Structure formats: C-alpha cells, structure tokens
Amino acid sequence: MARTPRTTHAARRRTATIVALAAAIGLGAVAGARPVPAQEQLTFTVGVSQEIDSLNMSVGLLVVDYEVWNLQYAALVELSDEDFSAEPGLAEKWESSDDGLTWTYTLREGLQWSDGEPLTADDVVYSIERPRDEEWGTWYETVKNLEATAVDDRTIEVTSSVPDPKLPALGIYVLPEHVYEKVSADDLPSYKGEDPVGSGPFVLSEHKPGESWRMEKNPNWYGFEPYVDEIIFRYFAAPDQLLAALENGEVDAIDSVDEDLIDQTEKNDDLVVVEGSQGGFSHVGINTGDGLGDGHPALADRVVRQAINRAIDREVLVEEILAGRGTPGVTMAAAYSPLWEPEIPLDDQLTFDPDAANAMLDDAGYDDTDGDGIREMPDGSRPLEFRLHIRADSKADQEKAEFIVPWLNDIGIDTEVLVATEDELTAILGRGEFDMFTWGWVPFADPSGMLSSLICDQVTVVADEPLYNDANWCNEDYDRLYEQQNQELDHDRRVEQVHEMLRIHYDDAAYVVLFKYSDVMAHAKDWTGFVRQPAETGPELFNNSSHSYLTIRPDFVAARDGDPTGAAPTDTTVAEPASDDSGTSTGLIVGIGVGVLVLAGIVVMVMRGRGRGDERE
C-alpha cells in the first residue's frame, strides 16, 4: 500500500528537435502533402501534487515513490491490467509443487540491468533474503516465510514455510544486487536509492528535490519499447497551479484534479478527465498509546476514540471537500476491490451523533470540572487538549481541520492544529509525538499489504526508523487473523477473515475513516494509449503497475506491431498535428531540395506545440 497524493490535473507539451547536415537536408512545406514523421525526442510530462519521499525501497512509502519504482524495476511476476491476475514479468514461466509451497520460476533469456550487468537468479534471491533478514517495512511481511535458491542463472526455487495465497506473484520488486550490496544495513536508512540502475522500461536520470525528476528509456528493457523517450514529473504545490500547467501546455497529464476544479476541467474540450477507483481513503489517525512518544493518555481509552468518531460528520466532509464525489467512510479499505470490505450494520456504526458522543464521555467520567467547556481526565489531572497534525501542502487537510476542530469542541475536546510537511509528519509519527493527524492510504491489489501496516510488529520501536503502524495500535486478535488470512488458500474463507479484521479495527476506532474517494486525473486529448488498471474502473496513471507509460503516445505517432493495448499499426504517414499559435504546423516536413536553411553546416529547428486550452494520500 502507499500513501496517496490527491489534488489536480495536467496539460500537454511536445518538443521536437531535428538536427541534419545542411549539405544533405532541406526543410520546407509542400501544399497538400501529408507530413512525414520527424525523428522527434518524445517527452511525456506529468504534473504531480506530491514530492518524492524516498526512493530507498526499505523506507519509501508515498504513491509517487511507487510510480518511480514501477517504471524502474520489473517484478518477477506482473499483475494484469484486466483483473490483477498473474502474468509473465522477468519470469517467462513458473510452476508449482503438488503441495503448493514451492514455486519454480524461469527467467527470460538474456536479461540485463540498465547498466549492462546481467540480471540473474541471484538478484531474485537477494531481493527475498535481504529484506527478510533485515526486516524491511512491509517487504518483511511479504517475504518472511520465504526461502529462495538459485538453481542456475535463470532458475529460482521459492519455498514458503506456510501456504501463501499471493503466490506465484511475490509482490516485491527485484533489486540490483550489485547496487544495493554496496549499502550496509547501518547505512541503509539514510540511502537515497537514486542510483540510475533498473530493469524496467525507464530509469531515473535526474532528481531536483522540490521541483522535478526525469526518467529516461532503458535500452536494456526486455518488453515492448515505449513510444516516449523520457518522462518528466513536475511538482506543483497548489491545485490551481497544477491545473494551470495542464491548460497552458506545460505538462501532458496530472496525477489528480482538485474537487473544486473538476467542473472547470471537464468543460475544457481539449482535456480528458478520468475518474478511477482503487480503494483510496482519507482518515484521522489517533495515537492509541501502544508505541513511542507522548500521546495524550485519554486516547488510549477506546471510549474516547469512539466518541471522536461520533463527533465527525462524514457526509458534510464529502459534500464540502469532495464536492459530493466520494462516499462517507466506515471501515478502511484493505484492497482495490470493495469485495474485501465488510458490511457494518447501521446500528453498529459510529455515525455522526454528538449527543451520543457526549453521553459516552459523561459515562466514562470525562467531566468538565472547572466549567471552561473542556473536559478533564476522570482523575481531573489533565484536560482533553489534543494536537491535530495536518500536512502543509494539502488544501484538503486544512479544510478538514476547519470542520473537525469545532466538531470536537462540541463534545468538550480542545484541538490545536499543527502544520508539518509530509517528511516532517512521517518523522513525528515515528517518534509518537502526536495525538491525531490527517492523511490517507491507497491499498494494493492484495489485502495483506494494507492489513500488515497495522499489526503489532509494525508499531515503531526506534524513533528514527518509523514503521507503518501510524496509530501505535496493537490488537492480538487482529494479528491472529492477519496470520490466518495470510495463509488461507480458500478465497471465500479468506474474505471472511479480512472482514473480521476490519470489524475489529473499526470497533477499536484507531482510525476515523473520513471518506473513500476516486482518483480524478486528466490528460491532454491529443495523447492516447492509456491503460486503466483494473480495466474500466481503475486509474490510468499511479495505479498498481503503471503500464500506461509503455503505450502512451501523441496522436500523431502511429501504433506499432505488438502494442500491448491492441492498437492496430497504421500506415507510415500520420495525421497532421495541430498548429501552434503562430500558425506554424508542428508537422513540418523534412525533405531534400525543398528550401534549405544553412547555419554553420547544421540545420537545427525546435518546435513547441502549445497545450490545449491528500494524500500517502
């Protein structure tokens, strides 16, 4: 699972550079002729509302981190765009033992890392053993029961000590051993992970913190060659800036559209707005006190946490923050599919009811003994004054706080709002120096990833090595069921176990799930080839596998044989691209003897086509 971004949109930029010898090449336009495609350097630019957290795979947790990893590192077994079923990745085939505990994978022949080093079975074994032995974040929960052996350079045997419903898909990236082995366990927490070595279709070539990062085509990628040569991700702090970049042609797509700007975006005929669902939810996390730090002792009481749930009107948040484009939250989402979410009877839900919340706190002895409107602990030792941390670059978080503070005041709780960057908030959560915070999650296709973030072993025990259990919540019944579902091969029974886990978590009220939301993205209309995951309902970008980057292309670029989207190749001529504001077509013909421009023996022309026109979370 990953921490989400949620905010705004994108636009289009196309830059074509043509270099030729003046003695051999002329440049001109022939009336009535169809343009011949120029040899362009194709760049796809994405506007994003979130900056990279860390590309070190032992610590990174944000959605944009995963987008980089999806492009730079191939998996042994990929998940299909249609329905997340297993399909070949680095492994061209696999087979299972009769008992289902041992899987034998055969790598594709001739695999190489982007730097030319061979990619072998040893890399796969390393990618299982090191995260297991050093207990890397959620990697550990995936690989802790696995043993891997390199039979030869192309063959790996993976044996699980328990039944594993995720297999044959491992759910991890394959690491370049020759890169990661240079980083010791002691140095790993501070490692940036920005080495430009990968096995995926693109590799990181540049990162300007707070501004952008660039990924270039991997010459040793085994799969379908992408149409674009490079991808640039540009960070925008504000939703309106993100949309303006789309409309002005600075970017070709954006990761999210702010709810207040969706109507404006949909009215622009030159943009395509795509709403995709993948289980993203926003929540208030509550420090339950089972970890480090100085959380308020009242929050260790489930009654207080349940009362906070009762004080928050989720329907108002959906209308005011999401403009009605979402659903009020009940339980957290464990996976992309709503199949994994239990039905909680209405009478058992912690629905908005401030009178009930006040009655709960009265009965538990949290009285306002001095008449100042704020309750005190039952022993009178401390008022119910809580810190609420929100993210500095999230407009939605600020809006949530504006509602939450008076709602909590109505039940006798005083709230101080503190603002932090995402990096700062991650560190604050690791130290346990908080009472409440707002953020959110986007889960994986399989529920184990999201569920593992809240087991007892994920409560942070070393302040500068924060783990995933951000509520400092530990429940032995939840953990017991986690182990059961993680080994359950009967699908229906596993769904029941996950439902029971989510009911336990909901009842304990470590999270206030505010709302579920869709990912609303946008791209320029004259780009095509996007792939949704899962089919028809998922987003085009920033999904589980990020396959769109293989097949996206400007509409003036013809499809090639073998295009994974099934797009049929066209003839070698192309439809004429739109003219820019000067009236000059971006599809100018490069020819011989049709008007020659000579400058120091070299012809150089640069054409630019103008654009049309919360959250881990």
Give the integer Cα–Cα distance in Å for 541 and 296.
40
3-state secondary structure of 265: helix
Residue 607: left if φ>0, alpha if ψ -120 to 50, beta else—which one?
A: beta
Q: What is the DSSP letter of 198?
A: -
pLDDT in tens, 450-459: 999 999 999 9
pLDDT in the model for residue 2: 57
Q: Averaged over 17-21, what is the pLDDT?
A: 29
- Among the listed residues 515, 516, 563, 518, the one whose alpha carbon sits nearest the alpha carbon of residue 537: 518
The Cα diameter of the chain in Å comes to 94
Q: Averaged over 255-268, what is the pLDDT?
A: 91
Give the integer Cα–Cα distance in Å for 526 and 523.
9
Residues 6+ away with beta carbon under 8 Å from 424:
none
pLDDT in the model for residue 61: 83
Q: What is the DSSP letter of 336?
A: S
pLDDT in the model for residue 40: 72
Q: How many CB atoms lie within 10 A of CB 427?
A: 15
Let me know: does 564 contact 224? Beta carbons within 8 Å: yes
Give the integer Cα–Cα distance in Å for 305 and 350.
10
* CA count, 13 A, side-chain hemisphere, 332: 31
pLDDT in tens, 181-202: 999 999 998 999 999 999 999 9
Q: How many CB atoms lie within 10 A of CB 182?
A: 10
Whole-number average pLDDT of the chain: 86
- Quote the pTM value: 0.76
Give the integer Cα–Cα distance in Å for 107 and 153.
8
pLDDT in the model for residue 260: 86
Output the CA–CA distances (angstroms, integers) from residue 224 to 41, 100, 204, 435, in the order listed. Answer: 18, 32, 19, 49
pLDDT confidence tier of residue 60, bands split at 50, 70 and 90: confident
CA–centroid distance for 321 within its chain: 21
Residue identified by tokens 């939250």 is: 329
Output the CA–CA distances (angstroms, integers) from residue 295 to 386, 436, 440, 514, 612, in the order listed. Answer: 9, 9, 20, 21, 50
522 sits in which H/E element: strand 519-524
pLDDT confidence tier of residue 16, bands split at 50, 70 and 90: very low
What are all long-range contacts of 557-561, with beta carbons under 8 Å and residues at least 24 apart?
A: 557/37, 557/42, 557/227, 558/37, 559/529, 560/225, 560/227
Which residue did the predictor score with more confidence, 129 or 30? 129
Give the integer Cα–Cα distance in Å for 13 and 11.
7
Residue-range domains of the chain with CATH = 1-69+202-276+520-617 (3.40.190.10), 74-199 (3.90.76.10), 281-517 (3.10.105.10)
* CA count, 13 A, side-chain hemisphere, 220: 21
Asked if residue 137 has pLDDT above 90, the reply is no
pLDDT in tens, 493-535: 999 999 999 999 999 999 999 999 888 999 999 999 999 999 9
pLDDT in the model for residue 507: 98
Give the integer Cα–Cα distance in Å for 485 and 448.
8
What separation, in Å, do the N-terminal and C-terminal C-alpha atoms of the chain show?
A: 11
Residue type at 451 in one-letter notation: L
pLDDT in tens, 424-470: 999 999 999 999 999 999 898 899 989 999 999 999 999 888 888 99
Give the integer Cα–Cα distance in Å for 251 and 524.
9
- Among the listed residues 476, 472, 489, 513, the one whose alpha carbon sits nearest the alpha carbon of residue 344: 513
Q: Averaged over 575-597, what is the pLDDT?
A: 35
Full strand arrangement of the beta sheet holding 146-152? 91-96, 102-107, 155-160, 146-152
3-state secondary structure of 585: strand
DSSP string, 51-90: ------TTT--BHHHHHHHHHH--BSEEE-TTTS-EEESS
pLDDT in the model for residue 570: 64
Give the integer Cα–Cα distance in Å for 417 and 405.
8
Output the CA–CA distances (angstroms, integers) from residue 93 to 124, 128, 174, 180, in the order listed. Answer: 15, 19, 16, 26
Which residue did the predictor score with more confidence, 498 or 278? 498
